[in-house]
């Protein structure tokens, strides 16, 4: 079976609870009206805040939309006040755990070792790590590729076998006047794919792009990526629908 075209959305902490509930209802309606999601040709993943997760699971009940968490504890159950374990997330139906995001690394000082520990915890509990990678400085594509492949290996060191979803997000392009070019994204994404393909324990892994992604980019990137990881652009359900329609077209099915 052909792998689905992957479309993810992170809500970060932009929404209050009431607005998040309205957005989830709107997106659930879109999902139910999109045959490509029901057929499995398009995989939609929504990553709300921890407090919004139960509402997301309820909104998407009966659909093939998957729900992720924006972070996960590296620790098992026990005396770790304020943490949310991978086991509990899996128990309530969460499928993905976002780890290693540039904001977690920059604002909270998370290291590759901490990211690897979270990846291990996620995989042990049956969650798919949504591993965010990206170089901080603008460099030539071949240097960027070497940087993020090294980051990939460091962030999965010691993690048990299992598929991961890697989101390539060049940090230097976030908020920049012009996004990363196709000439930059494509070779880096292909290098990540080759690195994953060389690891038998990562069979079934996915590479997506998450830097200033919007309509048209999925088509332009072609087979270099398996999908997109969207941010604020997709906080407008109508804009998210545009990307889902594009993903359906790429999958060769009716939206």
Q: What 3-state class would DSSP assign to 47?
A: strand
Residues annotated as catalytic are 101, 169
Other CB atoms within a 10 A radius of the CB of residue 78 amount to 8
Give me the CATH number covering residue 138. Answer: 3.20.20.70
Burial group, residue 31, by CB count within 10 angstroms (0-12, 13-18, 19+): buried
Q: Which backbone phi and psi does 93 adopt, to 5 degrees?
A: 110, 10
Closest C-alpha among 151, 248, 157, 242 to residue 202: 157
| Full residue range of the structural domain in which residue 69 is found | 5-251
- Collect all residues with Cβ–Cβ distance below 8 Å to 110 and sequence separation of at least 6: 100, 104
How far apart (Å, rounded) are the C-alpha atoms in residues 233 and 249?
A: 20
Contact 110, 70 (CB under 8 A): no
- Tens digit of pLDDT per residue, the chain (255 long)? 578 999 999 999 999 999 999 999 999 999 999 999 999 999 999 999 999 999 999 999 999 999 999 999 999 999 999 999 999 999 999 999 999 999 999 999 999 999 999 999 999 999 999 999 999 999 999 999 999 999 999 999 999 999 999 999 999 987 666 678 999 999 999 999 999 999 999 999 999 998 777 788 999 998 999 999 998 889 999 999 999 999 999 988 765
The DSSP code sequence of 74-122 is SS-SSS-TT---HHHHHHHT--EEEE--HHHHHHH---HHHHHHHHHHH
Tally of domains within the chain = 1
Cross-strand pairs, 43:
6
pLDDT the model gives residue 255? 57
CA dihedral 165, 182, 102, 69 (to 10 degrees): -30
């Amino acid at each position: 079976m052909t792998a689905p075209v992957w479309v993810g959305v992170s809500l970060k902490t932009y929404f209050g609870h009431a607005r998040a509930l309205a957005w989830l209802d709107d997106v659930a309606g879109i999902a139910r009206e999109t045959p490509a999601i029901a057929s499995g040709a398009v995989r939609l993943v929504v990553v709300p805040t921890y407090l919004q997760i139960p509402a997301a699971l309820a909104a998407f009940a009966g659909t093939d939309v998957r729900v992720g968490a924006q972070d996960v504890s590296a620790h098992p159950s026990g005396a770790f006040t304020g943490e949310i374990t991978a086991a509990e997330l899996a128990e309530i139906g969460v499928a993905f755990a976002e780890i290693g995001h540039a904001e977690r690394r920059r604002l909270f000082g998370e290291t590759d070792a901490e990211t690897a520990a979270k990846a291990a915890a996620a995989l042990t509990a049956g969650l798919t790590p949504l591993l965010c990678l990206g170089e901080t400085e603008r460099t030539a594509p071949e240097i960027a590729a070497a940087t993020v492949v090294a980051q990939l290996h460091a962030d999965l060191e010691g993690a048990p076998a299992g598929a991961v979803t890697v989101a390539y997000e060049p940090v230097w392009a976030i908020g920049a006047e012009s996004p990363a070019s196709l000439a930059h994204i494509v070779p880096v994404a292909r290098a990540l794919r080759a690195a994953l393909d060389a690891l038998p324990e990562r069979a079934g892994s996915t590479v997506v792009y998450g830097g200033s992604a919007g309509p048209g980019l999925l088509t332009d990137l072609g087979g270099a990526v398996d999908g997109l990881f969207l941010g604020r652009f997709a906080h407008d359900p109508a804009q998210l629908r545009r990307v889902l329609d594009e993903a359906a077209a790429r999958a060769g099915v009716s939206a």
